[in-house]
Structure 1
Amino acid sequence: MSSTFHPFLPETAAWRHLGARDGFEVTWFRPAAGGHVIDGCTTAVEDGRSWAVDYTIEVAPDWTTRSARVHGRSAAGSWRTVLSADGAGRWRIDGEPAPHLDGCLDVDLESSAMTNTLPVHRLALRPGSRAATPAAYVRAAGPAVERLEQEYARVADRDGLPGFDYAAPVFDFSCRLGYDAAGLVLDYPGIATRAA
């Protein structure tokens, strides 16, 4: 399935995190083996605690996540985790099988607005379509990797730009995400807004 977005990503993008936390995220994109390598960093203060998360995510040409290397720091210390995926829904965490993630095709970092780019590119939904998109969810405060059930529903374009209704029932959270023509989040209500 081909993406509904412009085929070219910018070299870099940035988000200001507002609402749930105060902070900033910067990401760099580069092509690799027909897919992309995405390097990024988020620093934030949330509930009075500061943290920083660095990440490198590799996605295949079909936008399935193939690996994610995540390093976090906070007053509690540093942590690292490495996720690898076969593109068919089977994962390893730090080299060990992770059957609780079976069926997930995307990684979702709690610290990142960028990772909401991955499933919308992979799915290429048309307006009126929806899909369940469970993800390997990496918490910002530590190396825990959980299964996150979520759903994206494509809504009618507004001002020529795509939008999606997003829901993560475990957090009792839903919102409408606005995207640019490259499929990068412009507005994530209560979480982040695009800065560059």
Structure 2
Amino acid sequence: MEILLIIFLLLLLGVLLYLVFRVVKWIFNSKARIVFSLILVVLFGVVVGINKLFFQNMEFIQSNVYPDLYLVKHPIKDKDSINNMIEKRVLAQLQNGNTNTTQFYEYTTAWGFQNGTKHFINHKEDPGGFSSEELNNYQEFKMAYFSLSKSKKDTLNYYGILRYFKDGYEVKKDTIFKKRY
């Protein structure tokens, strides 16, 4: 059954490539079509660039299933700014007494046989079945992890470790202290 599916997909890909070839050949038969196509491509690039620069703001999306999971949609390029915003989010949660652990992942959409990290906004981890969906499958999109622990020497105080990640590897660690009242 899988072989038939693969053959069908290869045939579909071949037909699509043939159609693209025919359209490109048709465009290059006339200078007016070439100019018009170039104008469309440049216009499309400008619209996408303007949209990306001015209309996509970074946002934190909290999971409805896991209250300690945040997905960062449209993260900005400056890692220091993102890390500061993550730290502020963690500190705000600590002041409200809401968390012992918090995880931050980059928001991703579907690709291949996986659903992306957006799956965890409304769904729990699914370790079995045709395609397993677990946060461990998305370690390269992990941005930060915070854990709060009791101080070993002083039972009234807590300390938290905020670990920052890039491409699945820890790159920075901060310690945050919290007094218990």
Q: TM-score, normalised by structure 1?
A: 0.22
Compare relative contact order (CA 8 Å, sep 6+) and give the higher one, 1 or 2: 1
| Larger strand fraction of residues | 1
| Larger helix fraction of residues | 2
Q: Which structure has the larger Rg?
A: 2
